[in-house]
Amino acid sequence: MSRLGKYTRRGFIIASVAVAGGVVFGARTYNARLENPLLGGLAPGEAALTPYVKITADGVTVITPRAEMGQGIHTTLAALVAEELDVELADIRIEHGPPSPAYYNGGVIEEGYPFPATDTGAIAEFARAQRDIPAVFLGYQITGGSTSTHDAYEKMRRAGAIARETLKAAAAARTGIAVAQLTTDAGAVVLPDATRLPYTDLAAEAGAIDLADAPELRPRSAWRILGHSQDRLDVIDKSTGRAVYASDIRLPGMRFGAVRRSPHLGGTLRSFDATAALAIPGVDTVIDIGDGVVAIATNTWMAMQALDAVTFDWASPDYPMETAGHFEAIARAFRPEQQDSQPRDDGNVDEALAGADVIEGEYRAPYLAHVTMEPMSAAAWMQDGALHIWAGTQGPTVARREAALAAGIREDAVTITTTLLGGGFGRRGEMDFVQIAAKVGAQMNGTPVLLTYPREEDTSRGPYRPAAIGRFRAAIRDGVPVAVDISTASPSIMSGIDARGGAPAPIPGFVPDFTVSQALWDQPYGIANYRATGYRPDALLPVGFWRSVGASQNTFFHEGMMDELAVAAARDPVEMRLQLMTDAPSRAVLEAVAAMADWGTTPAAGRARGVAFALAFGVPVAQIVEIEHTENGLLVRDVWVAADVGIALDPRNLDAQLVSGVNFGLSAAIGEEITVSDGKVEQSNYHDYPILRMYHAPRIHTRILENQQHIRGIGEPGTPCTAPALGNAIHALTGQRLREMPFGKTVRFA
């Protein structure tokens, strides 16, 4: 079925403004003050001045309610508060905090809007300003979409300012000195005579004060912490082993579980025989979880051994048995009845293509796994009808709901403690490991259990980055692209997440999935006749968020096409893109990366460069990749990358995230692929799902620009350009156009 037929830009706008304006969600819910989730757990003399700031006898604790998975977000969020609160960043304690609607993420709502990031018109800006209305209504606490900094920039600075002014008001009430005569410095209110009243001494009094007016935020010119590279607050704990991940949880009398589910994804378990497993010393029980089992033992290794001793009778899958069948199903989706959306249809594409020399091509991208370094794990302990879950989750409010449903108890009887995450990349936004841990915890009532997915279980079951096909037809006149008809087909991420219980609210089937056409329709190229269409195949393997989501494959399709058009027009690919650019910050990043790589010069013999650009997650990014032909294969020597985040709060961390994103994208481009044979995924671990090794990593050169109107995050934007830039470099060097990833299937890499 077509999703609303041709879902036009106007339809998107009307629907989005209706939601953002409160027609659906209600401004009353938004305007009501959200409950401070910290108030119930305070000791005498402590104060939670906002949901983000807690002051105890030990000092200031900042609640950083986004998942820390190595990207440094806890330090950045703490710095936002520290800047306004006048405390040294190193003196702050950080906690993730409990699941709560107070920690909603409005940035995620904005990411789904039908406006390109370059649209600064009145309607788009109004919708962005109202994004928190549906976010509050949903109470969606989530880490994803590179939205954490974007969402928190005003919110957490304001929390610090409110705490600062509340403490000053408490000092004024105690001393009788006017607030205007008081200042703050290094965790204390300073009186006119230089007497210092530490925040810890004022906490109890400040906790009883409610400010009448929201304080002004400090101008950027007054920043001491923000805008400078900051020392990560978690470095020492991670370097000394004190950092706590879900896998580290140990509780009295704990048992350990390992899970095995059907190798036919989505398939059912007809029956199993655990007799041999239960005969192994140290194995307690084997629990039926519907589509598989969990073995419980005295340690994780024993539980894994028990799984190998279980005899299973699995039902057959309802998807194609071989990889080729999956791509055939995706290819069949390019038809009107399976159209998901058509977010862009400018000019008259059909007329412009008629009679022209049409350039066309088809690109393919495979399923991809997340292969996080820390396998999926969660601890569960049911006591007296209450369930406590420890998990490294990207969505704690949804995790609490799903744990309650799995355990068959009320949601308010579930406590979620969010640990550090040993890698996320979207995988820990899924709820399967929490759901199973809750189900097992309920059955092991009174006994704590640490559930671990063997890596083989996680790699071979997904969910995955969708496999996808991209097609284009285009025409050039006088060296300039004048018409583009580009389309993509990939299984729906959002409907899959909804079916698995990972969405904040049910998603109607007629709603288009923005991830299908993400980064395909909103690139700032001024091509008069331009149509972008997304198609939704029927569900195949389970698919979900993967670092950079739909932009990961669609940028490969789009920027491969742009390079093909430049070659067909006998144009320099950078110069042609610059001519077409309609957005100044986007033009600036492309100019910057060209200068960094000395694009106008001729590479040394045996070398070539490729370029790609993407506007994804609101961040314009440009990359140039240089490769060299060696006797051992193609060597990726250098990658230059420029990105514009609007405001660089922590330049060193931004650099680290760009480097990480490039390596992540390069790994996928060269060697990663999930394939299906006999109805089963063939890959299981790093030996048959190779990721980029250190000796393959190129030199990566970065530059951060600050020309955008809005601040943006950088966790994902560094990834999408790498594959097309590499593919374009390979074409420049060899004349071979690689339209299917991974490239390592076609060419050899050194």
Residue 7 pLDDT grade (very low, low, confident, very high; cuts 50, 70, 90): very low
1 pLDDT above the threshold of 60: no
pLDDT above 90 as % of the chain: 89
Domain holding 526: CATH number?
A: 3.30.365.10
Instruction: Answer whether 615's CB lies under 8 Å from 721's CB.
Output: no
Q: Return mean pLDDT, the chain.
A: 94
* Buried-state track 539-558, b at ≥16 Cβ within 10 A, e below 16: bbbbbbbbbbbbbbbbbbbb
Which of 197, 220, 240 is where one domain is finished?
240
Same domain, 484 and 427: no
618 pLDDT above the threshold of 90: yes
Which of 452, 479, 499 is where one domain is finished?
452
pLDDT recorded at residue 535 = 99
Q: Given the DSSP bridges, would you call strands 59-63 and 93-95 parallel, antiparallel or unpaired? A: parallel
Mean pLDDT calculated for residue range 281-306: 97
Burial classification of residue 141, based on how many CB atoms lie within 10 Å of its CB (0-12 exposed, 13-18 middle, 19 or more buried): buried
- Does 272 reside within a domain? yes
- Does 707 reside within a domain? yes
Q: Which domain holds residue 555?
A: 323-368+464-745
Tell me 556's DSSP state: H
Same domain, 223 and 333: no
Same domain, 217 and 345: no
pLDDT recorded at residue 509 = 81
Q: What is the dihedral of CA 586, 114, 517, 679, to 10 degrees?
A: 130
- Does 686 reside within a domain? yes
User: Domain tally for the chain?
Assistant: 3
- Does 126 reside within a domain? no
Same domain, 202 and 76: yes
pLDDT digits (tens, 9 = 90+) for 81-98: 999 999 999 999 999 999
- Does 554 reside within a domain? yes
Mean pLDDT calculated for residue range 217-243: 96
- Does 132 reside within a domain? no
Same domain, 612 and 685: yes
Residue 345 pLDDT grade (very low, low, confident, very high; cuts 50, 70, 90): very high
Same domain, 186 and 94: yes
Which of 240, 274, 293 is where one domain is finished?
240
**Count of all residues that appear for the chain in the document:** 750
Q: Where are the beta strands (DSSP E) in 65-166?
A: 93-95
Q: Given the DSSP bridges, would you call strands 196-198 and 188-190 parallel, antiparallel or unpaired? A: antiparallel
pLDDT digits (tens, 9 = 90+) for 103-123: 999 999 998 888 899 998 999
Residue 32 pLDDT grade (very low, low, confident, very high; cuts 50, 70, 90): low
Mean pLDDT calculated for residue range 604-616: 98
CA angle 738-743-744, nearest 5°? 145
